Amino acid sequence: PSNQQVIAQAVAGFAGTPPHAFVSPLLSALQEDNENLIDNVAAALGRYQDEPQVTSQLVALAVDKALNVRIRRGAIVSLGYHRNRDVVGVLISLLSAQQPAQVRAASSASLARLTGIHRFGQNLAQWSVWWESHRDLDEKRWLSSLIGNFANHAAALTTENQRVTQRLVESQRQLYLGTPTEERTAMLEKMMAAPELSMRLMALELIVQRLVDQQPIGATLRAALIVALGDSSAQVRSRCAQLIRDLNDPSGADAIAQRLDTETDPTVLRAYLLAMADMPREESLTRAMQLLGDVELQNPAAGVLERAIADGLVTEQHKQALTKQLRQLTAGDDTLSPKMIELLGRVATEDDWLRIAGWMDSPKDTVRIAAAQAWAASDRPLGELAKRAESEMFMPILLRAAVRRGKEGATLVQIARFKPKSEQLEESWQQAMLAMATRVQASDLVEADRAMAQHENVAPIRERLLSAAIGESNVNADVQLLLARASVRLENSQAIQAMADLGLVESRSQNLTAEVLQRLHWLTVRAAMESSQPEKAWQTVDAWFVSLETTQAKQDLAQRLLTYVTGRIIKAIDARQIDQATTQLAQLRKHVQEHLLATSMSKLDELSSRITKTTQQIAKDQAAASAATSTDTQTVNTSGVPLTSP
């Protein structure tokens, strides 16, 4: 380009009002009638719209019929930039049919630029009518009219541009779908570099579809995604970060970590932080710590730090700084963030744990839950959570932690005390206790079993829990566990299985305490009775009496046996199993009667009387039934119906 062209372009692009010194050279250049120069000069002179003298000179050139049409056209183009109401009238006059075509076309274009009205074109009549209704408006209404015109035109342009762009994008999509698979990657790379935002977004959409279809995303396309992290559109940057995260791309993660410090858009920052939470980088930690103070971004920022701590990327220096910052962020009850509490649990000192324990009693449910989750995620004993096991809010958190690492007997007992009401949570309750069964002492498990026995419909899980602790061999199992399981099996009407457990305990009877022996004898009596082994039951009774040293102890046992066997006898009588009832009463007299108190002897007589009465009633019922059968037979014969076939 010539020097004049360079100067004209510089003036046209000058920031602010260009120096007045260039006016004269530009006007001279305009009148030189240089076809290659005239458009640049016209644009440059348009920048002097606030100088009336320049406007007047341009008007003079525009209306001078003696000048070359190109010079007049250049002056008219310049006037299109001069926001002067009088210029409008001049330009309308130049739409006259007597004017050259180039003058009319240039005037129409400048009028459209000046007024924002594009629909009139070169129609002199329409412009004239409009001018008559607007030329005398006051300045405020005049400017308001122009602003409305410009706004309408901008909206129309935007709509049309969107339509054109949409058609372009859809055409490109169809072209992509019709392209051979091996050539699509190159096409996507070109689309990623397209100037149209919608085209770049569509490229990202198609890359997502490739992921869904499990098609490969090669190195060059991954590199294009990394480059696009520097895109001018926050939408593009955000989606690229999401794709890099989905691809789990190490190079992309490195690039995101580097850009995290300079990114300012909240949407993009969120996408970057989410990516860093999945692919942590040490370079991202400082920025993530800074963003903890941003209410909108503190949760994803905390996610980055939690993952980095878990992966061992956080240095001791980082931890100290993070702990200090978190103490500040959790200082006020009004601004207490649940996510900050959970993060504090990752770096907490003993003093911090005291605060976290206190937050479990906060009036705010979100704070209580966050504190409980922080405690559960730590390696601290679960006692603080177990103390609140009765709460349906804390129980699920406690149960998950118990499955993962519960090993304190007191915690198991506390869990056993509170059976959840919901069916789903009850299943978790059972899983937690089963997980802990092999980690706690046998005595704690027995205590937990006693606690569970207070609930309804828990016999099956009690047996599973005890069996989990006992193991498969049974040989070296704790006798307390075997006795507890035998008791549960009796409740489940599994007397034979109960006898198996009791047999294991009996084989070690020489090493058992008196208390354990008492329980063994009692369960053996019950299990033998209920598994149709009465001889075994009464043998155990006889041996038991022999082992007792005091009369009082024997009387107590006799009374206990009387109550138990009486219940079985009454049950047999009610079922009209007289032989069974009679046999049991006879055995009771034989083995227990001598140890009973005189006041209890009458109960044996009552049972005997009840058996007699029931026997008599059975006889009467049978006689009545027999008589009824005989009467029915006679009735049939009297009616003339033969008893046998002729």
Q: Quote the pLDDT of residue 634.
A: 62
Nearest to 300 by CA among 331, 326, 335, 274: 274
509 pLDDT band (50/70/90 cuts)? Answer: confident
510 pLDDT band (50/70/90 cuts)? Answer: confident
What element of type H or E holds 531?
A: none
Higher pLDDT, 381 or 43: 381
Tokens of 183: 């050539």
Query: pLDDT tens across 538-586, in order?
Result: 999 999 999 999 999 999 999 999 999 999 999 999 999 999 999 999 9
Report the predicted TM-score, pTM, of the whole model to 2 decimal places.
Answer: 0.64
Q: Over 90: is that where the pLDDT of 477 sits?
A: no
Query: pLDDT tens across 427-470, in order?
Result: 999 999 999 999 999 999 999 999 999 999 999 999 999 999 99
Q: Quote the pLDDT of residue 32.
A: 81
One DSSP character per residue, 452-505 reads HTTSSS-HHHHHHHHHHHHTTT-TT--HHHHHHHHHHHHHTT-HHHHHHHHHHH
Calculate mean pLDDT across residues 511-527.
93
Amino acid identity of residue 34, one-letter, is: N
Q: Over 80: is that where the pLDDT of 476 sits?
A: no
CA angle 618, 620, 626 (to 5 degrees): 105
Calculate mean pLDDT across residues 230-236.
96
Write phi, then psi, for 388 (nearest 5 degrees): -110, 25
Tokens of 407: 């090993």
Instruction: Please state, in angstroms and rounded to a whole number, the distance separating the CA atoms of residues 126 and 62.
Output: 22
Q: Over 80: is that where the pLDDT of 159 sits?
A: no
Amino acid identity of residue 96, one-letter, is: S
Q: Over 60: is that where the pLDDT of 636 sits?
A: no
31 pLDDT band (50/70/90 cuts)? Answer: confident
Q: Which residue has the tokens 């046209």?
A: 12
Calculate mean pLDDT across residues 585-590.
95
> How big, in percent rounded to 5, are the helix, strand and coil portions of the chain?
75, 0, 25
Instruction: Please state, in angstroms and rounded to a whole number, the distance separating the CA atoms of residues 249 and 229.
Output: 14
Instruction: Please state, in angstroms and rounded to a whole number, the distance separating the CA atoms of residues 125 and 270.
Output: 58
One DSSP character per residue, 80-147 reads TT---HHHHHHHHHTTSTTS-HHHHHHHHHHHHHHHS--SSTT-HHHHHHHHHHHTT--HHHHHHHHH
Q: What b-and-e string marks burial along 277-300, b requiring 16 or more CB atoms within 10 Å of the CB?
A: bebbbebbbebbbebbeeeebbbb
Instruction: Please state, in angstroms and rounded to a whole number, the distance separating the CA atoms of residues 237 and 271.
Output: 9
Q: Is the separation of the CB atoms in 44 and 30 below 8 Å? A: no
Instruction: Please state, in angstroms and rounded to a whole number, the distance separating the CA atoms of residues 569 and 36.
Output: 125
Q: Quote the pLDDT of residue 436.
A: 96
Calculate mean pLDDT across residues 251-262.
97
Q: Quote the pLDDT of residue 644.
A: 42
First to last CA, the chain: 139
Instruction: Please state, in angstroms and rounded to a whole number, the distance separating the CA atoms of residues 573 and 567.
Output: 10
Write phi, then psi, for 476 (nearest 5 degrees): -100, 15
306 pLDDT band (50/70/90 cuts)? Answer: very high
Q: Quote the pLDDT of residue 645.
A: 41
Give 51: exposed, middle or buried? Use CB within 10 Å, 0-12, 13-18, 19+: middle
R_g (Cα) of the chain, nearest Å = 49
Q: Quote the pLDDT of residue 279.
A: 97
Q: Is the separation of the CB atoms in 202 and 190 below 8 Å? A: no
Query: pLDDT tens across 271-300, in order?
Result: 999 999 999 999 999 999 999 999 999 999
